[in-house]
Structure formats: structure tokens, C-alpha cells
Amino acid sequence: MVNYVTGFMLSNDGQRVVLIRKRQPSWQQGRLNGVGGKIEPGETPAQAMAREFLEETGVQTDPASWQLFVELDESGLACVYFFFCRDDAAVMAARTMEAEPVEIHAVQPLPDDVLHNLRWLIPMALDPQLVFSQPARLVERVRAVSAPAAAGRT
């Protein structure tokens, strides 16, 4: 099983979020998603999140500053660990470092071209009544697609 991380760097007031305009995989092309990628062998999900954020935005963060709030099991084909962090300086310093453009957007309203799950993930991360002592664990049923296509999520 392939494991991934996706993170939402939020401003301290929760009004802005760092997103990335995806070029691949093809089902995400042109859409906005959180910053993330594959977990490398030997990395914890939090370490992978900090590494991916540095690689894609040029901003170094402490793995301990990322709050894991959702684990999404994609029918045993992949697992995506969703994180959030609040840091005004990181939001303001984020810039494009690779082929996929980094963008800062208002949370309310989110842009029309965000991936559908960001419409509930970002509000969930911002909800002051939720305490994530353990991440929410979700299982997604993968529609009729081939295993390689379903596992190609980055």
C-alpha cells in the first residue's frame, strides 16, 4: 500500500490557506489541493509532511507543528494522512518551488476549483469544537478504476 500526506497551512486567524495547483495525477490536473506527496521509506507521516511542505513551498516547518486530523484509507490501495498547521509566517513565505504553482487563498469562500474533499476537510481542521487527540479514520470506497490508477494519488 502506498501512503501519502496532504497538509493545509493556515493563517493564525484561519482566514487563509496555502494550496497547490496540481498538474498530476490527471484526475487532479488544474485543481487546487493541499500540499503533499508520498511518504518515503523510514519517514513518519509528520516528517513526510514537513519535507513535502519544504520541497514544494520553500518553507521549513517542524514535523511536530503539523496536526494529524484525518486518516483516509482508500480501500486498502492507499492511505492519505491529512494534516493542518497554523503559522502566519509560513503562509506569507510560501512560494512555488517545483512545477506545481503554490497559491494562497481565502478559506471563505474556497475557490470553485478545489478538490471536492477540501470543502469539508478545511472546515473540519478549523472547527474549534473538534479536538484531534486521535485522527478521524475514514474508509473510502474506490469506484471501478484499476488499482494502478487509484493508487496514483499525489
Q: What is the pLDDT of residue 112?
A: 97
Whether 86 maps to a domain, the answer reads yes
What's the CATH code of the domain at 12? Answer: 3.90.79.10
For CA atoms 96, 17, 70, 140, give the dihedral sign: negative
Whether 85 maps to a domain, the answer reads yes
| Grid coordinates belonging to 18 | 496555502
The series of mean pLDDT values per 10 residues for the chain, 154 residues long, is: 96 98 94 98 98 98 98 90 98 97 98 97 97 92 55 50
Q: Are 14 and 31 in contact (CB under 8 A)?
A: no
Whether 12 maps to a domain, the answer reads yes
Whether 96 maps to a domain, the answer reads yes
User: The pTM is what?
Assistant: 0.89
Whether 124 maps to a domain, the answer reads yes
Whether 150 maps to a domain, the answer reads no
Q: What is the pLDDT of residue 75?
A: 80
Whether 31 maps to a domain, the answer reads yes
Rounded CA gap, 19 and 73, in Å?
22
Domain count, the chain: 1
> Domain span at residue 64?
2-141
Whether 110 maps to a domain, the answer reads yes
